[in-house]
Structure formats: structure tokens, C-alpha cells
Amino acid sequence: MRARTAVTSALLLALVVLGLVHAGPSSKPLKVGEKVETNLVFHRGVEHSEIITSPEASFIVVQFSDYKLSQGDLVIVRSPDAKTAFTYGVEGVERQTNFMAGLVPGQSAVIEYIPGAARADASPSGPAFRILSYSRGLPEGGAQTEAVCGVDGMVQAKCFAPGQPLAAARPLAYERGLAVARLLVEGSHACTGWLVGSAGHLMTNAHCVEDEAMANKMQVEMAAESGFCGGTCEGWLGCRGQAVAMTTTLVARNRSHDYAVLKLPESADLWPYGYLTLRKSGGFVNEEIYIPNHSKAWGKRVSYINDDGRYLFIDNFSWAGTCALNGLRFTGDIVGGASGSPVLAASDNRVLGLVSCSGGCESPHMDVAEDIRLIIADLESKGVVIPDAY
């Protein structure tokens, strides 16, 4: 087995150098919303409010443009009942002039501009900000959906917490799963990502983040999961967690290996969630695995068992198939929204792969993850260093 693994590893690394491997065309993020054009202008020093309403929308995400508040000014984006509210001051989000506000569930969002005391009596002097567009969440079932092949074996993440029914099956699955995030990109697409290393880096798929502009408009949500094992988090962005970042920066990206590494702002409070580490030697055939993920953009679940009752395992390493041309293959329950999920080894809980796409329900059903060895090799070739990643 070791000799075969060494040969496989050498061949995979050779393919990296030759550039002969790439992800298949079926890789795509889950569409949960759509952009809507508007034209709202808020003038400096003039207290003003607007309400955006989109019938049947499941959420509203406001896009700020030309954001130039004065010291003491405030902007509040909230739900009509104020149960969800986000407040922004002169810095906005990381001092960006164009950024996405927090997600407001439901069909309406209220935007309130409150000028500071020094500005309240002053004459208007140009726009404080504009809202030229917003994203409306598609109605439940209104986005593209995928069916789980056979029985849906995904389980609420909380079921693996200490003292819960499945804690013995995968003793560290809950703790490691804390590092897994639900991502909302540009208010319209959902993926999964995860904290890697100790310095605030996050890994997801390249097909979830096309460029720096998309990285800048990404919401990173941690702990989006049911509070108890018997709960349910069905529905787009169900079981709201903690939005630890409203923007990221792009560190590295390779479409051929379908990965992207992002950096969260220094202000992001990440200590409660820990981080994942990569296994440099990769996985091996028949190794047992589990996958914490946000399939369908629902609350976090874990795929760990097959329909036949066996634990998930690596079936083979292959670069020939309908879903992707390289990576490790496994049978399991993942669907749209799980793009970017980590494939974790049951033995040492290290990352062996990055979920890229589903192979569909043909027989045999095979999902594909990018081999972590290929990603590590590419990061090293780029000179990217992620502290404590191994």
C-alpha cells in the first residue's frame, strides 16, 4: 500500500508541474440570490431612511457604493421589526467605499442614515453614500437544487458534540467542524469554506471566488448550525450563525486545482472556532473520512456514512471522469452549497481534500475532492506561507 501511495503521490505532483490537471465544468457555486438594480442617494447631513422591498424574497443584502460618511455619522441596515440590525460608522467595512451590508432575512430591509451632531445643522454637501443595487434571496426552492443520491445520510453537526449520540463515532468531528464556515458571495451564491492555520486564512473553491472583487464581497459565517442534535436547519441560510467577516482579500487561487485561499480581516474574532491543518502526505485508498459542510446553504451538517451503513472512505484517486479530471473520489452525500468543504481523515482529523463537485447519481456515484497534495504543491510554488497549516 505504501509503495502504491508513493507512486500515486509522485504522479500527482508531476501532473502539477506539467499542468495537465484541471477541474471539470460542472463545478459551480449554489445560486441563492440575484442582483436587483436600484438608485438611492443619501446626502450628507440630511437624516433619511428608505425601505427596500422585494416580494417573495428570502433575504435582502444591500450594496453600498461611494461610501463617504463623516465622523459621527451612522447608517443602520435592519429588518422592519429590528430583530436583525447592522450599524456602520465612518469606516464602513474595513474602510471600503463599496461593500455589502449584512444579510437581512425576509422581503424587506430598512436603511437609516443618521448624521452626526456636527453635521445635523450643516448644509448638504454631496452624497454620503449611494445604493445602486441589492441582492434578493430566491424563494425557498427557487434556486437550482440537487437531490441526494439514495438516502440523505447527512447529520446535524451538533450530533457529534461531546455527550451527543454520535460523539463516539467521530470523537473530534464537532470540534474540527467549528472551523467550517458558510460563505455568501456577492449576496447571490453560497459555498463552504474553512479556517486553515492560525493566522486567519480561509480555503474554499476557486469556482466560488473568481477574483479579488468577489473576495471583497464575501460574508463569512461561523457556527451556522442547529443548537441541538434533533434540530433542523433546512432552508437557504437556515440557523443563522455569527458573521465574523463581511469582506476578505484574495491570497492565492488556482482554477486548475479549484482552490482559493483568502485572508480575513484582523478584526475578525476567530478564536472560538479553531482551525484545520493539512496532511502533507495526503490520503490513501480505503481511508475513512468525514465531511462537515453546508449543502444547500442549510445549517452545518456532516456527511460520514454511506447508504449501506459503511463509513465514508476514499474509493480511488483518479483524473478521469465526468466531474473533475483530478482528485480523490468518494461516495457520500453532498450537494450544491458544499463546494469548498474539507475532506477530513477519521484517524487524525487532518484535511485530505477540498470538495469540488458531485459526480451525479450515475452508478457508481462518485463525488470528487481536489487532492490536498496538489494544493500544497501549488501553494509552495507560489511562495504562500500559512502559519500552522500542517
| Virtual torsion, Cα 292, 295, 298, 304, nearest 10 deg | -40
Q: For residues 90 and 70, is the Cβ–Cβ distance under 8 A?
A: yes
Spatial distance between the Cα atoms of 189 and 114, rounded to a whole number of angstroms:
31
**pLDDT tier, 2 (very low <50, low <70, confident <90, very high otherwise):** very low
Spatial distance between the Cα atoms of 25 and 269, rounded to a whole number of angstroms:
36
| Bridge-based pairing state of the strands 30-31 and 189-196 | antiparallel
Note the pLDDT of residue 307.
Answer: 80
Note the pLDDT of residue 23.
Answer: 36
Spatial distance between the Cα atoms of 380 and 372, rounded to a whole number of angstroms:
12
Which residues does 320 contact at the CB level (< 8 Å), separation at least 6? none
Spatial distance between the Cα atoms of 42 and 45, rounded to a whole number of angstroms:
9
Which has the higher per-residue pLDDT, 118 or 33?
Answer: 33
Ranges 7-21, 36-50, 312-326: which has the least confidence: 7-21
* pLDDT tens-place string over residues 292-344: 999 999 999 999 998 888 999 999 887 545 455 668 888 777 888 999 999 99
Ranges 23-37, 58-72, 182-196, 272-286: which has the least confidence: 23-37
Note the pLDDT of residue 4.
Answer: 38
Q: For residues 129 and 64, is the Cβ–Cβ distance under 8 A?
A: yes
Q: For residues 197 and 275, is the Cβ–Cβ distance under 8 A?
A: yes
> What average pLDDT does the structure give for the chain?
87
Tell me the backbone φ, ψ of residue 131, rounded to 5 degrees.
-125, 105
Note the pLDDT of residue 317.
Answer: 86
Residue 348 confidence (pLDDT) above 90: yes
Closest of 218, 269, 273 to residue 248, by C-alpha: 218
Cell numbers linked to 176: 474540527
Note the pLDDT of residue 85.
Answer: 97
Sign of the CA dihedral with 137 first, then 142, 143, and 146 last: positive
Note the pLDDT of residue 10.
Answer: 44
Q: For residues 68 and 88, is the Cβ–Cβ distance under 8 A?
A: no
Which has the higher per-residue pLDDT, 226 or 122?
Answer: 226
* pLDDT tens-place string over residues 188-205: 999 999 999 999 999 999
Reported as type and span, the H/E element at residue 256 is none
**Mean of the pLDDT values across residues 136-142?**
79
Residue 175 confidence (pLDDT) above 70: yes
Concatenating the DSSP letter of every residue in 56-92 gives T-SEEEEEEES--PPTT-EEEEE-TTSSSEEEE-TTT
Q: For residues 274 and 252, is the Cβ–Cβ distance under 8 A?
A: no
Buried residues in 266-292 as b, exposed as e (16+ CB within 10 A): eebebeebebbbbbeebbbeebbbbbb
Spatial distance between the Cα atoms of 341 and 334, rounded to a whole number of angstroms:
9
Spatial strand order of the sheet with 351-358 comes to: 155-156, 301-303, 289-293, 342-345, 351-358, 367-371, 328-330, 314-317
**pLDDT tier, 355 (very low <50, low <70, confident <90, very high otherwise):** very high
* pLDDT tens-place string over residues 74-109: 999 999 999 999 999 999 999 899 999 999 999 999
Note the pLDDT of residue 27.
Answer: 72
Question: Could you give the 3-state DSSP secondary structure of residue 12?
Answer: helix
Note the pLDDT of residue 347.
Answer: 98
Q: For residues 70 and 116, is the Cβ–Cβ distance under 8 A?
A: yes
Q: Give the global pTM.
A: 0.88
Domains of the chain: 2-30+148-382 (2.40.10.120), 33-137 (2.60.120)
